[in-house]
Structure 1
Amino acid sequence: MTILTPEEQEAQRIEAGRLLFARPVRFFFAAQKLDGLPAPEAPEVAFCGRSNVGKSSLINAVAGHHGLARVSHTPGRTRQLNFFAVGEGTEHPLTLVDMPGYGFAQASKAVKADWQGLMFDYLRGRPTLRRVFLLMDARIETKDGDRAAMDLLGEAAVPFQIVLTKSDDAKPASRLLKRQQEMAEIVRKRVAAHPVVLTTSSAKGTGIPDLRAAIADIAAGG
């Protein structure tokens, strides 16, 4: 039996992530209500975050398809759950889910309540949901909406992993380090939080292989 070093194990994870997203990724469903969701089949990983956190850009970077998720400069533009199949055919191995953003000032209270209700119902009742990647902007402090999202995930008993975005714009370097330390402290206090915080930049490609590897672990049943 061959025993791999930690470096070799990590290289295998990175390669598994690369191979997973060498497959086609396609949009296949959108839902604005819980009763309009597609049938639960493949394992799902969802992306959640404040409006304008760079969620669509990150999904596009992970998928290697820059026109997959719609990028908008209008916060709160995504008002539904968007589903993307990784792999060809009806029996694809994984589904990516783009969740509506939160923290958008332009939306009415009624719309915000509807979106929060949809998010919670999806999180609580989706048997194929394996993990939520909670996106946090590396350049700014944690907002009340971020804490509310973590509370929501905890109440729904859904595992989540924090992903810092836009790390290339978090300057000076000490700002990024402080943000990473803040996130590490947060996950230590959250039962549902994955212990590893990922740092990414869609523009520079930073951390994308690591995020793909984490998703590949989930697709493989890890």
Structure 2
Amino acid sequence: MTSTTRPQAEATEQAKAALAWAHGARFLTTASQLDQLPQGDLPEFAFVGRSNAGKSTAINALAQRRQLAFASKTPGRTQHVNLFELGPKEAPDAYLADLPGYGYATVARTAKLRWQKVMADYLEVRRNLAGVVLLVDSRLGFTPLDRQLLEFVAPRVTTGEVKLLVLLTKADKLSKKEQAAALAAGQEGLADLATEASDVGLLLFSAPKRQGLDDLAETVHSWIHAG
């Protein structure tokens, strides 16, 4: 399981290329059901996490754009899968899927169940899904809902069909000692899955400090352009 930031000297050129690629992300469509998403063979990677885990902020940091993904003042407001294209406009080479946030207490139970079903179906059957970025608040660690989401995608991760990167977000709000403890707890929480899967990653991440941003960009870029 990858859990450390690579030396800057090694990462610079790869990170620049990956960030330049991500910077070209552009909104494509929004869908409330899987059958509304485009079909085809373009590889896709998805961002998913609790409604207040910083998902939109991470997507905007990756794309180096302020409002590519809409960060609502009311967590849990987004009820759709938002899809973005990456690569040349004339010949896009990937999709980025922003999945609905989950776990916000004031959202109606029926809406929660519907979103959960859509996300579970997406993670289990979306054919061109290449990788999942799961955002977990570093101050909280894996919650029961985070673990449930991991269960949805675990079968495809263990077979190597789908890659997984866990971002421990809001790391700038922790001391160095607390960051180390959060990373260790994250490794422990992923230990069982990591023993069965060859491509499970874990990163401390802070959008304001750009901590982990290069590694995030390189990771998702490698998922799409491997080989």
TM over 0.5: yes
Seen in structure 2, the aligned counterparts of structure 1 residues 115 and 206 have a Cα distance that, compared at 3 Å, is same
Q: Could you give the per-residue CA deviations for residues 159-215 of structure 1, whole angstroms, max 9, x where no partner exists?
A: 322111111112x32211111001111222114584431111111111111100001
1:184 aligned onto 2:187: yes
Percent sequence identity is: 33
1:163 aligned onto 2:164: no
Equivalent residue, structure 2, for 1:154: 154
AA at the equivalent of 1:174:
K
Q: Could you give the per-residue CA deviations for residues 119-178 of structure 1, whole angstroms, max 9, x where no partner exists?
A: 1211222221100000011122321111111111114554322111111112x3221111
Equivalent residue, structure 1, for 2:15: 14
Name the CA distance, whole Å, in 1 between partners of 2:217 and 2:167. 12
Name the CA distance, whole Å, in 1 between partners of 2:34 and 2:146. 23
Equivalent residue, structure 2, for 1:65: 65
Equivalent residue, structure 1, for 2:53: 53
Q: SS state of the match for residue 21, structure 1? A: helix
Cα RMSD for the two superposed structures = 2.0
Seen in structure 2, the aligned counterparts of structure 1 residues 144 and 104 have a Cα distance that, compared at 3 Å, is same
Seen in structure 2, the aligned counterparts of structure 1 residues 141 and 214 have a Cα distance that, compared at 3 Å, is closer
Q: Residue 19 of structure 2 contacts residue 63 of structure 2 at CA under 8 Å; is this kept in 1? A: no
1:123 aligned onto 2:118: no
Aligned length: 215
57-66 or 82-91, which deviates more: 82-91
Name the CA distance, whole Å, in 2 between partners of 1:124 and 1:178. 31
Name the CA distance, whole Å, in 1 between partners of 2:90 and 2:77. 29
Name the CA distance, whole Å, in 2 between partners of 1:71 and 1:193. 33
How far 1:9 moved relative to its partner? Answer: 5.4
User: Where does the alignment leave 5 or more consecutive residues of structure 2 unmatched?
Assistant: 1-5
Seen in structure 2, the aligned counterparts of structure 1 residues 115 and 90 have a Cα distance that, compared at 3 Å, is farther
Picking from 188, 211, 215, the partner of 1:210 is: 215
1:196 aligned onto 2:197: no
Describe how 1:103-142 pairs up with structure 2 within 5 A. Answer: 103-142=103-142
Q: Could you give the per-residue CA deviations for residues 34-83 of structure 1, whole angstroms, max 9, x where no partner exists?
A: 22111233211100100110000100000011110001121111111000
AA at the equivalent of 1:53:
A
AA at the equivalent of 1:212:
A
Name the CA distance, whole Å, in 1 between partners of 2:153 and 2:84. 21
So what's the TM-score if we normalise by structure 1? Answer: 0.88
So what's the TM-score if we normalise by structure 2? Answer: 0.87
Name the CA distance, whole Å, in 2 between partners of 1:165 and 1:40. 32
How far 1:90 moved relative to its partner? Answer: 4.6
